[in-house]
């Protein structure tokens, strides 16, 4: 394997355990619009393909007018409450501190402004060359277009890139861009779901990346 020069990380479920904050923002929207609130586990199962997709599922396939209002409510609430409960997963800060020789980026389907604020409030934004959200290029994983933009920005060839994430959309975005992929089992999806998408690597903790890089 070519030596990895760039790690591209998903955010939620990979670097940050944000399940409760996402659920709180979704439930704020649901409650405001008169819908029944849902538990954290159910909402976590909806996450992965961007806010509109998540909200559509949470609203039980409501029509566009209600969906648009719910998305607006979510954004207004979540930008104020992105890390009320969110925390870095074990080992994340240690890994970021001790891998300065490797370029790093964040690629999320979440809105860019919320990604940046989350990283700033958790005090890890300085470790990343670039942060790309789902609204930067109107392109969301598993579409590889945003990953390709990161590749162009960092000038790292695809043979030297590893995409790290906790969902099938991360794995498939990496595969669609022609880069190596690493699935993490501690996030929003279970190991058996991830194995079905054939990532190049599967790890149970972020510090296991050291074994891949070495």
Cβ pair 163, 142 in contact under 8 A: no
Q: Provide the percentage of residues in the chain whose pLDDT is more than 70.
A: 100
Nearest to 48 by CA among 119, 134, 114: 134
| Residues 46 and 151 reside in one and the same domain | no
Query: What's the domain range around 138?
Result: 6-17+86-213
* Residue 39 included in any domain: yes
| Residues 96 and 200 reside in one and the same domain | yes
| Residues 93 and 124 reside in one and the same domain | yes
CATH code of residue 186: 3.40.50.1000
Per-residue confidence (pLDDT) for residue 111, from 0 to 100: 93
* Residue 191 included in any domain: yes
| Residues 72 and 95 reside in one and the same domain | no
- pLDDT band (50, 70, 90) for residue 14: very high
CATH code of residue 24: 1.10.150
| Residues 126 and 204 reside in one and the same domain | yes
Report, as an integer, the average pLDDT of 28-33.
97
* Residue 58 included in any domain: yes
Number of domains the chain contains: 2
Cβ pair 185, 203 in contact under 8 A: yes
Per-residue confidence (pLDDT) for residue 138, from 0 to 100: 87
Report, as an integer, the average pLDDT of 66-72.
95
* Residue 96 included in any domain: yes
| Catalytic residue annotation | 10
Q: What is the DSSP letter of 49?
A: S
Examine the fold and report which residue of 55, 78, 101 is the final residue of a domain before the chain moves on.
78
* Residue 95 included in any domain: yes
Q: Answer whether the bond into residue 142 is a cis peptide, omega within 30°.
A: yes
| Residues 13 and 30 reside in one and the same domain | no
Cβ pair 163, 143 in contact under 8 A: no
| Residues 114 and 184 reside in one and the same domain | yes
pLDDT at 1 over 90: no
Tens digit of each residue's pLDDT (9 = 90 or more) over 84-117:
999 999 999 999 999 999 999 999 999 999 999 9
| Residues 10 and 24 reside in one and the same domain | no
């Amino acid at each position: 394997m070519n030596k990895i020069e760039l790690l591209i990380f998903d955010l939620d479920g990979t670097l940050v355990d944000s399940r409760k904050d996402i659920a709180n923002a979704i439930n704020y929207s649901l409650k405001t619009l008169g819908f029944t609130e849902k538990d954290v586990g159910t909402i976590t199962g909806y996450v992965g393909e961007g806010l509109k997709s998540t909200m559509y599922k949470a609203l039980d396939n409501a029509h566009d007018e209600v969906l648009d209002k719910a998305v607006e409510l979510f954004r207004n609430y979540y930008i104020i409450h992105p890390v009320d409960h969110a925390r870095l997963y074990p080992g994340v800060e240690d890994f970021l501190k001790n891998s300065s020789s490797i370029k790093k980026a964040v690629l999320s389907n979440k809105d860019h402004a919320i990604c940046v604020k989350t990283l700033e409030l958790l005090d890890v934004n300085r470790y990343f060359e670039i942060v790309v959200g789902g609204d930067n290029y109107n392109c969301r994983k598993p579409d590889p277009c945003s990953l390709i933009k990161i590749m162009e920005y960092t000038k790292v060839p695809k043979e030297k890139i590893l995409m790290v994430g906790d969902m099938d959309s991360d794995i498939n975005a990496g595969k669609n861009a022609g880069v190596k992929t690493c699935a993490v089992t501690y996030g929003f999806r279970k190991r058996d779901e991830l194995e079905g998408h054939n990532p190049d690597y599967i790890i149970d903790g972020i510090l296991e990346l050291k074994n891949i890089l070495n």
